[in-house]
Amino acid sequence: MVARREMARFWSLESLHTVSSDGGAEPSALVDDNGSEEDFSYEDLCRANPRYLQPGGEQLAINELIGDGSVVCAEALWDHVTMDEQELGFKAGDVIQVLEASHKDWWWGRSADREAWFPASFVRLRVNQEELSEGSSGSPGEEQEEDTGRARHKHPESKQQMRANVVQEIMDTERVYIKHLRDICEGYIRQCRKHTAMFSVAQLATIFGNIEDIYRFQRKFLKDLEKQYNKEEPHLSEIGSCFLQHQEGFAIYSEYCNNHPGACAELAGLMQQRRYRHFFEACRLLQQMIDIALDGFLLTPVQKICKYPLQLAELLKYTAPEHSDYDNIKAAYEAMKNVACLINERKRKLESIDKIARWQVSIVGWEGQDLLERSSELIHSGELTSVTRQGKSQQRTFFLFDHQLVFCKKDLLRRDVLYYRGRADTDAVELVDLEDGRDGARGPGLRNAFRLASRTGDEVHLFCARKPEDKARWLQAFRDERRRVQEDRALGMEISENQKKLAMLNAQKAAHGKSKGYGGCPAAPPLQSLRPIHQRHITVPSSLPQQQVFALAEPKRKPSLFWHTFNKLAPFRK
């Protein structure tokens, strides 16, 4: 209440009402082609879908199910790569059993016989929880045949109800999603455009991207879904064709996701000023939106496009092969999975460039162009012995990125300090595996050796690993590097110059204790014993979620000395 009274001194809700030149209320500029609004109201959505619209509603439902002894499972929307043993790492599509959801940001769960914290915003709850067995894991594609086989043996009425449940969830979440998009466009963008002294056109384009285009597209998509939706018998609905009909239209999400990191950085800068915080809160209250910050609303399109393949995978599981919608659902699942995979891959790369920038800043005596000018991912790292032309051996630490191999030397006294010693262009060299024995060019007997030979000149780099298995890992890493470079070219996977500059700027400021927007690597969450859930006292981070590189609402925590040291040596290891 104190905060709202303080906000009221700066902004009057009535002053934000849109008024046209003739004194009447300004009509919406975001109606569909027929000029009609949705056939459902906010109150209808609240009554029909309290779990989706009410803050904490889903969390309360989960804890009630867990308290009743039910197994509650969720599917991962994105990869969660973590170097912390107290956090649960998983890949997109993996199934996690939720053991505790008393905190809105971090849930305690189990995957692959391991319990740990995981960010709640990274997952989607499955609709038909009763179908899940404890300890299940794996991606939807890997489970598909086994799940379909099990479903055939279920009672027909039960299977029909399962399919109806999934169809209903798709329809409900789509309607609520449209409500959120409309709130953003009419509650935030319209008000921002009225206050030209606070927001430039370029700022609004950076913050909101093409979300208005997404809103218009999703309205048309929902209209087609409604036409194919059978209200009386939802299990007979044939919605697969809608996804196939609009699959090219979903490409607009690529632009939004590419723009999203810059949007988060711009918004974070504005939120440092009190008048912007109060303005955005006034917009939310005027539009009667649920209690979620603007950055949370801007995350919903990213979450939505990654949720579609999970919903379609579950729908396919309960769709019999003889169902008229089976082939369309199967094709739609593959199409939306490809879209989500591209976005998930881009998210992973965007997270990686932030780590790369911080790592480069920590290297003493760095020379030449920034790593991010050519690279966006660390493939492998470790120690090798470099053999010079004169036969002299030098122990070095090597970091293999896409397009280049970086050489570093450890400080003799402080082993966590690395000195830059050079790099090799992996685009211009050829990998040669050497048998154990004598290398004619260098002289000494060599074991576990390989070399990188220039394709255009006489430059040759000769390396020796300590063990055969170390050499095998390096050879595989070089093959992986070439494969990933080719895949990135085929997919057109590029990081914008602005994103590279922003990553380097934040890394340099963080090195001087002046990080802007977000800081270094997070410290570990509280230690948890692995006793049964009812015997364990759960301690969760007290900080609020903070948007990270791809704004996935992972709570930010204070950095520790452990992370400071670990990052310099191997900040990218999974």
Domains of the chain plus CATH, in order, are 57-125 (2.30.30.40), 158-354 (1.20.900.10), 369-507 (2.30.29.30)
Tell me the residue type at 519: G
- In the predicted model, is pLDDT for residue 12 greater than 80? no
Cβ–Cβ under 8 Å, residues 254 and 343:
yes
Cβ–Cβ under 8 Å, residues 122 and 77:
yes
CA atoms within 13 A on the CB side of 297: 29
Residues 102, 107, 108, CA angle at the centre, nearest 5°? 105
Tell me the residue type at 570: A
Most confident of 137-146, 231-240, 541-550: 231-240
* Residue 557 zone, left/alpha/beta (φ > 0; ψ -120 to 50; rest): beta
User: Torsion over CA of 347, 353, 354 and 356, rounded to 10 degrees?
Assistant: 140
Report pLDDT for 65. Answer: 79
Cβ–Cβ under 8 Å, residues 397 and 383:
yes
Identify the residue whose tokens are 């040291």.
Answer: 565
Question: Tokens standing for 571?
Answer: 């900040």
- In the predicted model, is pLDDT for residue 396 greater than 80? yes
Cα–Cα distance, 200 to 206 (Å, whole number): 10
- In the predicted model, is pLDDT for residue 495 greater than 80? no
Identify the residue whose tokens are 């590279």.
Answer: 500
Cβ–Cβ under 8 Å, residues 88 and 76:
no
Question: Tokens standing for 482?
Answer: 């070439």
Outline where DSSP puts E strands in 363-434: 378-387, 393-401, 404-410, 418-425, 429-433
- In the predicted model, is pLDDT for residue 103 greater than 60? yes
Report pLDDT for 30. Answer: 52
169-218: per-residue pLDDT in tens? 999 999 999 999 999 999 999 999 999 999 999 999 999 999 999 999 99
Cα–Cα distance, 8 to 225 (Å, whole number): 42
Identify the residue whose tokens are 């004598």.
Answer: 438
Run of H or E including 92: none
Crossing angle between the packed helical segments 294-317 and 211-228, to the nearest 10 degrees: 30
Report pLDDT for 130. Answer: 54
Cβ–Cβ under 8 Å, residues 19 and 26:
yes
Report pLDDT for 534. Answer: 36
109-158: per-residue pLDDT in tens? 988 778 888 888 788 887 766 544 433 444 444 444 455 444 444 455 68
Report pLDDT for 361. Answer: 93
Range in 27-36, 177-186, 295-304 with the lowest mean pLDDT: 27-36
pLDDT band, very low/low/confident/very high, at 563 (cuts 50, 70, 90): very low
Cα–Cα distance, 306 to 51 (Å, whole number): 20
pLDDT band, very low/low/confident/very high, at 459 (cuts 50, 70, 90): confident
Does pTM top 0.85 for this prediction?
A: no
Cα–Cα distance, 389 to 442 (Å, whole number): 6
pLDDT band, very low/low/confident/very high, at 226 (cuts 50, 70, 90): very high
Cα–Cα distance, 12 to 10 (Å, whole number): 7
Cα–Cα distance, 83 to 81 (Å, whole number): 7
Cβ–Cβ under 8 Å, residues 461 and 450:
no
**Overall average pLDDT of the 456-482 stretch:** 92
Count of other CB atoms within 10 angstroms of residue 357: 23
- Considering just the CA atoms, what is the radius of gyration of the chain in Å? 27
The sign of the torsion formed by the CA atoms of 108, 110, 116, 117 equals negative
Cα–Cα distance, 349 to 417 (Å, whole number): 26
3-state class (DSSP) for residue 34: coil
Q: What DSSP string runs through 130-195?
A: GGPPTT--S-HHHHHHHHHHHHHTS-HHHHHHHHHHHHHHHHHHHHHHHHHHHHIIIIIIHHHHH-
How far, in whole angstroms, is CA 161 from its chain's centroid?
A: 32
Please list the residues that pair with 399 across neighbouring strands. 381, 406
Please list the residues that pair with 409 across neighbouring strands. 419
